[in-house]
């Protein structure tokens, strides 16, 4: 399963700036990185008058823009998706997902904190905090690094999330909603799929399996 870590913090704390330093640090170490930006106010990535905008305005549920070098998908969703659902439905072929925001999600977090901007940090002991990037020393029970120390944060991410080997996992979605699996159900599905594919030529050692039933 692709590991996720969320960069969180109060407004204007420097989350995007930190990600701009952390992304090239991770890619320089050989990792393929995907990013997810959470916007509670909604967003529009298309420009008025463009063909794709006209498709969406005409009522298309999903619009795909394709070129030789990029692919973009815009689709209607009935609710705000969790990071786990986004990972399962949309993100593949990467080693790490870095998200900006998602303070209330269950994924591990790095908080960005600047004393000049806010009187106190956003996270508490209830959050799965792995590190703090700050312009002032803090005692929060986790490593507190300089707000510009992307290398140190990358070391923590590697140790916490990336050096324990890749484990196969099963992601089940029904009608677009992620279905939690017990360990027993997870192992049964994984074993059954790998067993069936092992009998097919060219599928003996699958790294990733995509199965869709409609």
The stretch 77-95 carries a mean pLDDT of 88
pLDDT higher for 109 or 89? 109
Structure tokens at 117: 């901007």
Going by C-alpha positions, the residue among 89, 107, 90 that lies closest to residue 98 is 107
Contacts with 75 (C-beta within 8 Å, 6 or more apart), sequence order: 61, 62, 63
**Residue 177 has what pLDDT?**
80
Condensed to tens digits (0 to 9), the pLDDT of residues 5-19 reads 999 999 889 999 999
**Residue 7 has what pLDDT?**
96
Q: Point out the least confidently predicted range of 20-29, 57-66, 150-159, 203-212.
A: 203-212
- DSSP structure string for 20-54: HHHHHHHHHTT--EEEEE--TT----SPTTSHHHH
pTM value is 0.77
Angle between helices 15-28 and 150-157 (to 10 degrees): 70
**Residue 41 has what pLDDT?**
65
**Residue 157 has what pLDDT?**
95
- Taking residue 171's Cβ as centre, other Cβ atoms within 10 Å add up to 16
**Residue 36 has what pLDDT?**
94
């Amino acid at each position: 399963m692709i590991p996720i870590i969320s960069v969180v913090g109060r407004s204007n704390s420097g989350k995007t700036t930190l990600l701009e330093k952390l992304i090239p640090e991770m890619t320089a170490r050989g990792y393929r990185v995907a990013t997810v930006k959470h916007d509670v106010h909604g967003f529009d990535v298309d420009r008025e008058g463009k063909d794709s905008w006209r498709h969406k305005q005409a009522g298309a549920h999903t619009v795909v823009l394709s070129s030789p070098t990029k692919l973009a998908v815009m689709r209607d969703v009935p609710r705000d998706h969790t990071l786990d659902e986004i990972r399962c439905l949309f993100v593949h072929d990467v080693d790490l997902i870095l998200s900006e925001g998602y303070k209330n999600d269950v994924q591990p977090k790095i908080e960005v904190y600047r004393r000049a901007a806010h009187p106190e940090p956003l996270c508490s002991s209830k959050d799965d905090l792995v590190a703090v990037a700050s312009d002032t020393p803090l005692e929060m029970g986790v490593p507190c690094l300089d707000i510009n120390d992307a290398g140190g944060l990358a070391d923590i991410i590697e140790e916490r999330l990336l050096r324990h080997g890749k484990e196969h996992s099963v992601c089940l979605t029904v009608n677009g909603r992620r279905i939690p699996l017990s360990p027993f159900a997870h192992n049964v599905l994984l074993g059954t799929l790998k067993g069936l594919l092992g009998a097919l030529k060219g599928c003996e050692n699958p790294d990733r399996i995509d199965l869709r039933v409609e």
